[in-house]
Every structure is written in C-alpha cells, then in structure tokens.
Structure 1
C-alpha cells in the first residue's frame, strides 16, 4: 500500500532518508516546474528546488498535516522563489517559459493573425513569437500575480488552494488573477483576448 505524503513526512521527521527520497521523487516535477516557470533560469531553478527540499527535511519535525501537503510545500516554494526573484530582478529580466514545445516536437510556424481561422487560442499558442511575448508579459507581472496565474494556468489549482499558498484571502486571489489576466490582455492585444477569457 502506497504511503501518503503525511505518512512519509512522519517518517522523515524520524530521520528516514528513504522516505525523504520518495517524497522528493513524488514532488520533484511540481517543485522544479513551478520554480523554473517563476525564475526562467534552469540553473537557478535547480538550486532553489534543492533548497526547497532542504527546508522540507529541516521542517519535518515541526510539520503538522493541517492542510494538503502540496499546499504546504508550495508555500515553501513561494517564500524561496520570491526571495530569489527579487534578487534576480535586479540583475536581469526573468522569462517564465510557460508554454514550450514538448521534447522532440518541432517549433510550429507562426499563425496568421489576419486569418480568422488562426485567431483561436490554440493557434496563437502554436506560434513561437507569440509564446515569447506571452512569456515576457507573464514575467513582467508582479510576483504575486505571476505566481497565481502560473499555479492556475499550469497546475490548475483551485482558488482556495492558491489563496492558501499565497497566504491571502479568496477574494484577494481572484482579484490578483483578474488583474493579471487584464494586464496580459493589454500587453498581448485583443487577438489574444480569448486565450484568457474564462480561463482563470
């Protein structure tokens, strides 16, 4: 029978390195993926992701299963990634790389925005140039808005969980997502408007 995250954390609290490795393997994609989309730098993302799991190991004796484990874990991610994002923002512009071709896929050709058949969201996302603009527009958002929209768009987390991760109210979270969506629509133009309507 597969152990739950809470059971694994109980074992980690007692110094069980095997349980810790299993927990890391189970959540590596979530942690590394979220950090990478926030920072846009694979090397920085690897370093921050490792620091996240160091925090998990250190915090295990104090861990209490009062919320979903993923919520607790992503709260650690938020604290570390915001600190790193602020440091990096003084050095360079961060790109999120939210939409990338899967491994082995070729870069598709750009859609013709004057062709109504190619103005749908899927066609827009198929274009390398548009995805680059989208990445830069998301990177330009305030970090709370950026984190909220990435968790919703990529992980499809419910509003309540995003609010818990950001340590804010449900209403404030919905407001963050609304402002982020409006900022992206303003940056990307009306041709991309349908991409965000109803998505967040």
Structure 2
C-alpha cells in the first residue's frame, strides 16, 4: 500500500467518496498525460481525446473500488493503456470504420498534444516540421510496449517499477530492455537524418 497522504492518492480518495470538485481537479491535472500516452499508443489525436474522456469516465464509475495499492498514476495509466489497446483491437477487427469524425472534449477546450516524448529525441524547439514528422513516424513504427514505455519514462516521469506494472506486471529487467531497444531503434533511424538531412528508409 502506498502512503495515503500522497497528494495524488489523497485526491483520488476524495473522488472515491464522491467529491465532484476533487474529480474536476483530477481530470484537469491528469488529462494531458493521459492524452499524450494515448496519442503515442494509437497515433490518432482525435481518437486519443475520445478515449481519454472514457478513461476519466471509468475512473468515476469505478471510484468506489479504488484502493491505493500502488501510485495513483500507475493505476490511471494502466486504465488508459487497456482502453487504448481495446481500440487497437477494435480497429483490427473493423479496419473500414471511419475514425475521422471530430470529437470535442467535454468543456470544448482544445487539448495540446506533445510532439516529443523520448530522451532520444532532440528537445530543441526549433526543430523543423519535417524532422518532427519523421520523429513521429519513427515512434509509431516502434512496437506498442516500446512506445508506451518511452513515453511514460520521458513525459510521464514514471519510474521503471511503475512502467513494469502498467505494462502488465513484467520484470524490471524487461522494462529496461524494452526502453533500451526502443531508444536504440530511434537513434538508429534519426541519426542518418540529423547528419545528412535525409531520412533513413527501412
């Protein structure tokens, strides 16, 4: 069990008691990290926004069953990943379904998508649009676990132990291996482009 005085856990425990104001704070605080994870997972910002809404709806619906057995973010990111994987499986079953309809969030405000999400990617804000597109392409070519682990490690500030839980209870060694391989692939693909200005085609 984690410390119930942890701010995130304490906030979720208020939500568990039906505190709507706490729920609104929780959504505002964690909407962006969840959006970023889902965007990296499925590659569709509009669909990521829609699924993020479902994540927080599920948080509310299942609030009474919440127990702080691990960090709150671990629990939240696990829900997000599971719903994201459900969407990937749904797409595989119904590839002709259109996912292009706009889906505004509940308060009508736009949700910013973070474009850089691994420590292997240059953080310079002046990167060209072309390079950013190639970075995105390289990320989406990674296996799902590598994408998820890299995103959580960089943007989510999540420990390797927590990542292991989010990825289904795998070992710490496996997490380190997944992150190492993902970074190696990104560096291999980005290095030729950064040196020559040309993109390395597989």
Flag the 1:169–1:55 CA change in 2: closer, same or farther, 3 A: same
Runs of 4+ in 1 over 6 A off after TM superposition: none
Q: Which residue does the alignment assign to 2:115? A: 98
In 2, the alpha carbon distance for the partners of 1:50 and 1:124 equals 29
Q: Give the alignment partner of residue 62 of structure 1, picking from 46, 61, 65.
A: 65
TM-score, normalized by length of structure 2? 0.71
Q: Which residue does the alignment assign to 1:147? A: 148
Residues 11 and 19 of structure 1 are in contact (CA less than 8 Å); yes or no, is this contact kept in structure 2? yes
Give how far 1:136 is off: 0.7
Give how far 1:75 is off: 0.9
Select the structure that is richer in helix.
1
Q: Which residue does the alignment assign to 1:159? A: 160
Q: Which moved more, 1:59-68 or 1:32-41?
A: 32-41
Q: Which residue does the alignment assign to 1:23? A: 26
Q: Which residue does the alignment assign to 2:184? A: 182
Alignment of 1:33-182 (within 5 A): 33-88=36-91, 91=95, 98-99=115-116, 121=122, 126-166=127-167, 167-182=169-184
Give how far 1:7 is off: 2.9
Give how far 1:126 is off: 1.1
In 2, the alpha carbon distance for the partners of 1:121 and 1:18 equals 38
CA root-mean-square deviation: 3.1
In the alignment, structure 1 segments of 5+ residues that lack a partner are 101-119, 194-200
- What secondary structure does 1:98 align onto? coil
Residues 71 and 165 of structure 1 are in contact (CA less than 8 Å); yes or no, is this contact kept in structure 2? yes
Aligned length in residues:
170
TM-score, normalized by length of structure 1? 0.71
Q: Give the alignment partner of residue 12 of structure 2, picking from 9, 25, 32.
A: 9
Give how far 1:59 is off: 1.9
